[in-house]
Structure 1
Amino acid sequence: MKSRFSRLCLVLLGALTLIGVVSPSAAQAAERPGGKESYAVSIGQVAPEGTPPTGKEFARLAMYYFDLDGTVREAFWFWSWSIGYPAATIAPTSAGCDNCKIHTAGGFQNGAEVKELRGRYTTTGDQLAITWSNGATESWTVTRPETGISVIALTASNYGANVGKGYGSNVRTTVSVPVNDIPKKRYPGEFRYNAWDAVNEKMTSDWGTSGINLQQFQKCNDNCLSGAVEITDPNSKACSACKPGEQRAVRYYLASDGGRKNYYEHFCTCLLQGTNKCYTGGSHLKPQLQVIDDAQRFRGWVGIEAQQRVANRGTLGVHWYTDV
């Protein structure tokens, strides 16, 4: 009797398969957040403004991929406040401008390990919920500011992440914009960071609005833009390490060796040694991922800063600079 029941079940299963009947859960396609397949995301844990970091803070730069079966995959780079990351030299240089080597945060250079998480997601109205296979959960709010691009903003997590934003589209993630084709304008945005205050010898945290202004950048070569910008605002905290009477100016590099990854580096020119045009000190190192909309237009960056060659020192933070 048991054998006949088993054979009957197999026959029924085969018939259902042939006529295309599947279980209700498999038949229901998931709704992608904002209707977009992939998102460029920066996410992290930053101590509340004005409070010292605890040592648990981190920053993560990622691409999120949402499939219609309700699964999500994250490819990411990770930096922890409690670990030091020596700077890495990248292949592109600023040849054609000051002919210097360009650097990025250790762990983001070409060939560095890309970590991965997999999980499942659900969308309910403008709310996105993700549960990763390691048990981590994230909650996001989804907005559609304009046709061709959507935005997710982190509202909660169960593992310490308290800041995060991502920009999504349906363009293939292999699509990118060469640095020389990026519109030379200002991309406004905001940042959150943990830092070591060397002047007062204490750890702190802060947030604010800022931007990346390419209007004063020039082409060095096919893989690099650069600009030297004088600080004219007397109230600006930038280049506070310059001595009285020294010109306060910042040298910027924006470089790429292909793909969505961009390398953003800057330092105060008053810190250069002697006649050397190339800085070898603790420059600001900002790995970034390009934001591209459905029309394959460049819209800005999501990024992190990991200027921490020594654990719990330097700066570790997240930022978003776009025209969305």
Structure 2
Amino acid sequence: MKRKLLSLITIGVLVALVSPVPAQAAERPGGKESYAVSIGQVAPEGTPPTGKEFARLAMYYFDLNGTVREAFWFWSWNIGYPAATIAPTSAGCDNCKIHTAGGFQNGAEVKELRGTYTVTGDRLAITWSNGSTENWTVTRPETGISVLALTGSSYGANVGKGYGSNVRTTVSVALKDIPKKRYPGEFRYNAWDAKNEKLTSDWGTSGINLQEFKRCNDNCLSAAIAVADGSTACSACKPGEQKAVRYYLASDGGRKNYYEHFCTCLLQGGNTCYAGGSHLKPQLQVIDDAQKFRGWVGIEAQQRIANRGTLGVHWYTDV
């Protein structure tokens, strides 16, 4: 009996010695679990799109076992996306329906990718299960938030930025609680230049300024803002027509926000609501570790007809 017990103890010791050691936890990029990201392919500034351009709005989730998951919405330059009407309206302001890019409305398909990642210093490398790869730089501009910037990919994506934190992705900020200030940023887009009848692309700085927005209701903020002298905005307005832009920022809960704007001179007759080709910009909120609202990552898909309108990506934050 003693010999049998000794044998069992010996086997137990051997098993303990040869059992594999659990894999070491991966280092999350910037120490953050999830990122709100907009990424895409945009033709070089001033050159025509080729037809391969796309935009993607996504949440990236990094697990400590070295795996990554991406939940995303996708728009392609060579496919038309009719506008979708969302549930919130601008009741309390001009009582109009509000729209978003087709494919972002509630109930639309959310696509998914899974893969693995490695972090080396300030470099993040992702390999998706379909074999495509992405490379990013990682910075920590301040406590509570980290930033990803795309440096290259194997599938055509050439612009991208993401903002990450460790707050649960179910956390969002209600429109009434978003600070009404200017959120600066930048954009990259492909477009059909209707005035000169040609395809083009553009890169630049811009922003979302909420200082003049008023609360229509719990689900909508809105403003009608005159175009500054010398601005090229609302070039479709006829001579003598007042140049102003009507903006809507809406939400039906969660990180998704709907941003829409159009030139008011395009309203027909006595109509106060516009049903034409407004600028449709799906957005995801950027929130830091303290659950503070910091801005948006977004895309624009104002292209009811393939290869026309505008398709691009943008980032407007106070980070």
TM range (shorter): over 0.9
Show the counterpart of 1:8: none
Separation (CA, whole Å) in 1 of partners of 2:269 and 2:228:
24
Q: State the 4+ residue runs in structure 1 displaced beyond 6 angstroms.
A: 11-14
Query: Matches of 1:72 and 1:170 in 2, distance apart?
Result: 15
Report the AA paired with residue 235 of structure 2.
S
Corresponding position of 1:206? 202
- 1:93 alignment partner in structure 2: 89
The DSSP-based 3-state class of the residue aligned with 1:15 is helix
Aligned equivalents of 1:21 and 1:127: distance in 2? 33
Determine the structure 1 residue equivalent to 2:295: 300
Q: Which residue of 1 aligns with 2:40?
A: 44
1:215 aligns to what? 211
* Aligned-CA RMSD value: 1.6
The CA deviation string for residues 157-200 of structure 1, in whole angstroms up to 9 with x for no partner, is 00000000000000000000011110000000000000000111
* SS of residue in 2 equivalent to 1:288: strand
Q: Which residue, out of 270, 275, 290, partners 2:285? A: 290
Gaps of 5+ in 2: 1-10
Number of matched pairs? 310
- Aligned letter for 2:15? A
Q: Distance in 2 between matches of 1:76 and 1:14?
A: 48
| One-letter amino acid matched to 2:265 | C
In the TM superposition, 1:95-174 aligns within 5 A as 95-174=91-170
Could you say which residue in structure 2 is the equivalent of 1:4? none
Q: Which residue of 2 aligns with 1:225?
A: 221
Question: C-alpha distance in 1, partners of 2:193/2:216?
Answer: 33
Aligned with 1:27: secondary structure?
coil
Return the match for 2:233 from 232, 238, 262. 238
Structure 1: 5+ residue stretches without partners: 1-10
- The percent of aligned pairs where both chains have the same amino acid is 86
> Match for 1:196 among 192, 211, 217?
192
Paired position in structure 1 for 2:3: none
Cα 1:14–1:84 change in 2 (3 A) is farther
**3-state DSSP class of the match of 2:289?**
coil
Match of 1:273 in 2: 268
Shift of 1:232: 1.8
Q: Distance in 2 between matches of 1:301 and 1:210?
A: 13
Cα–Cα, structure 1 residues 31 and 278, in superposed 2: closer, same or farther, change >3 Å? same
Distance 1:267 1:114 in 2: 27
Of 247, 250, 253, the residue aligned with 2:248 is 253
Question: C-alpha distance in 2, partners of 1:134/1:219?
Answer: 45
Amino acid at match of 1:244: P
**Aligned pairs (5 A) from 1:310-321:** 310-321=305-316
The aligned residue for residue 3 of structure 1 is none
Q: Distance in 1 between matches of 2:20 and 2:96?
A: 60
Q: Displacement of 1:237 after TM fit?
A: 1.4
**1:27: how far off?**
2.3
Q: Is 2:94 the partner of 1:81?
A: no
With 224-233 and 287-296 compared, the bigger mean Cα shift is at 224-233
